[in-house]
Amino acid sequence: MTGRDLLLGLTEVEPEFLVEAENRTLPQRRIFRRPVLAAALIALVLILVGCTYAVLSETEWFEKFFADWQNQELSESQNAFVEEHIKVIGQSITKDGYTLTVESAIADSYNAYIKLRLTSENGGKLNAESYLPDYRFREDGTWEQYFYALDNPEWKYITGMGPSEEDPTVILLRVNQNERQNAKPLEEGVTYRIHMTGLVGYYSDGSEEVLTEEDFDFDIVFDTLYNETLEMISEPITASFADIQVNVTSLKLRALSITTDYNGRTDEKGALCFVDSFVVLKDGTEVSFRPYILGSEGATCFLTGPVDLEEVDYVRLRDGTKIPVPETEKSPG
Amino acid sequence: MDDEKILQLYFARDEEALRQTQVCYGGKLQALAQNIVRNREDAQECVNDTYLAVWQTIPPKKPNFFLAYLSKICRNFAFGKLDWQQAAKRRAEVVTLSQEMEQCIPDKAREAELESREIARAVNDFLRGLPPENRVLFLRRYWYCDTIEEIARRYGMGQSKVKMRLRRIRQQLAAYLEQEGIFL
């Protein structure tokens, strides 16, 4: 059977589907046109100062988050990526009068962003500068914040958390996998547990307020995960910064992260060749990437904005080296 | 005129049935055929062949969904008229469509010879499980052979979003066909 056979075979689909395809309209996204809405927007800004995030949908929230981070409006393909791959969750747990809600997530197979929101059950004000789970180390040097697959609880993913700059009641959890350690990629259909202990408010004067010491366990499943990878290196290339030089043998690009392999150094400074580097999209949008797991043989980087691999034009390294998209196909994982 | 009345005319063997079919659905059929053959004259010929086939089959047939019935016949004529070699030379949209469909076929099924009916049964089962929004996007692209631009315009979506969503549906179809082992 060929693609042509499949195309022709489609002729016999059920007529109800054809009627639906002929008549159905899809909910359309509202597009604000600046000239028309200028006055209205000014009024809106006055009303909504300080709480703009409250009225954003989950999609809009992530679009704004990435736009702020990459310091540039998202391109059409980036907005489309967020709309297509966001997972709205809405799972809540209340402890000691405080409710944590896992609102949404977006992920590729090695990097996930999970958005949580804290509310006070009795409507009490949350005035701290930021709220986070209890990240204070215990006496044995560990803490109790984990992310793991329920069917493999021994393997704990690397996590990081930060408050939203604009809204202290939003906590953003970042989950990372280090491919070089043969870590298992994130997968659709697998149940992952977010385990958190305690909630602490951090005030600008340096004081802390423990809201609860209870545990929060959320079980989430990704079903909109982007699991494609684009290997950009077909022949090893050299990358450099100042007097540092490495031989790059692999640069795997994903929607939200990059893994690169290199040699030529015995320390971790090779990763500096990948600071101030960019993925450049076909429409000219530049998305920077930043190394966060460093090693002598490679680095894992996160992208400051989402990238649809089909829209990538080239990668530009810190020393100006341009790596064009190779002719080979993308591969899963 | 509504479908029921047009069908009554066919059953009465009144040639006004053909005129009313043309008035109500001629444009849609022409667009469908033209999406496939990309040639105005050939498309018109497909539409005329469709009218004739409908005249010859109703009665005894009495389709529940008249436009769907017409469209299926017209699509068949259009694909029958299509010169695939010429289409490949001028990089026609149908060639892109068949390449996209190629991605959905499990390796094990490439050697299998299947009748259209078997393929349609598998695809129908798959389509039934899709959310309606994705189902219509899939059919607009692979049944009606609309371009990405046309779909984006029709539904007020960006072209990237349409492409991305279609890619995801194709992946789902490939996984479905593989998982169900339909072709083994």
Residue A174: closest CA among A188, A158, A187: A158
Alpha carbons within 13 angstroms on the beta-carbon side of residue A156 total 11
Using CA atoms, how far apart are residues A253 and A231, in angstroms rounded to an integer?
Answer: 6
pLDDT tens string A109-141: 889 999 999 999 877 788 888 888 876 555 555
Q: Is the dihedral of CA A269, A306, A164, A146 positive or negative?
A: negative
> pTM higher than 0.95, yes or no?
no
Q: Which residues of chain A have pLDDT under 50?
A: 28-55, 330, 333
Q: Which fold has domain A87-221?
A: Immunoglobulin-like (2.60.40)
pLDDT tens string A14-53: 888 888 888 876 654 333 333 333 333 333 333 333 334 4
CB nearest to A26's CB, from B99, B109, B133: B133
pLDDT of residue A54: 42
A197 DSSP β-pair partners: A215
pLDDT of residue A296: 85
- What residue segments make up the domains of chain A, in order of their start? 87-221, 228-332
What architecture (CATH level 2) is domain A228-332?
Sandwich (2.60)
Token pair recorded at residue A152:
């493999």
Using CA atoms, how far apart are residues A285 and B160, in angstroms rounded to an integer?
Answer: 14
From B183, which residue of chain A is nearest by alpha-carbon distance?
Answer: A1
Q: What is the ipTM of this complex?
A: 0.86
Alpha carbons within 13 angstroms on the beta-carbon side of residue A98 total 24
Map out the domains of chain B with their CATH numbers: 3-82 (1.10.1740.10), 86-180 (1.10.10.10)
Angle between helices B132-142 and B93-102 in degrees, nearest 10: 130
Using CA atoms, how far apart are residues A274 and A299, in angstroms rounded to an integer?
Answer: 9
Best of A10, A83, A227, A228 to substitute, by most chain B Cβ atoms within 10 angstroms, is A10
CB nearest to B168's CB, from A2, A22, A84: A84
Using CA atoms, how far apart are residues A138 and A324, in angstroms rounded to an integer?
Answer: 47
Using CA atoms, how far apart are residues A43 and A32, in angstroms rounded to an integer?
Answer: 15
CB nearest to B127's CB, from A4, A9, A13: A13
Best of A12, A187, A331 to substitute, by most chain B Cβ atoms within 10 angstroms, is A12
pLDDT of residue B113: 65
pLDDT of residue B184: 45
pLDDT (tens digit, 0 to 9) for every residue of chain B, 184 residues total? 788 889 999 988 888 889 999 999 999 999 999 988 888 888 999 999 999 999 999 888 888 899 999 999 999 999 888 877 777 777 678 888 888 888 888 776 666 666 667 777 888 888 988 888 889 999 999 999 999 888 988 888 777 778 888 888 888 888 888 776 665 4
Q: Quick check: A11 and B97 CB within 8 A?
A: no
Q: Is A16 on the interface with B (CB under 8 A)?
A: yes
* 3-state SS, residue B144: coil
Residue B145: closest CA among B92, B72, B93: B93
- Residues within 8 A of A (CB atoms), B 16-55 only: 28
Instruction: Find all residues with CB under 8 Å of B29, minimum gap 6, and list them.
Output: B46, B47, B50, B70, B71, B74
Best of B161, B167, B173 to substitute, by most chain A Cβ atoms within 10 angstroms, is B161
pLDDT of residue A292: 79
pLDDT of residue B83: 79
CA B3 to chain centre: 20
Number of inter-chain CB pairs under 8 A, A vs B: 147
pLDDT of residue B155: 85
pLDDT of residue B173: 87
Token pair recorded at residue A259:
């893994």
Query: DSSP assignment, residue A313?
Result: E
Q: Is A84 on the interface with B (CB under 8 A)?
A: yes
From B161, which residue of chain A is nearest by alpha-carbon distance?
Answer: A80
Q: Is A47 on the interface with B (CB under 8 A)?
A: no
* 3-state SS, residue A232: coil
Instruction: Find all residues with CB under 8 Å of B50, minimum gap 6, and list them.
Output: B29, B70, B73, B74, B77
* 3-state SS, residue B135: helix
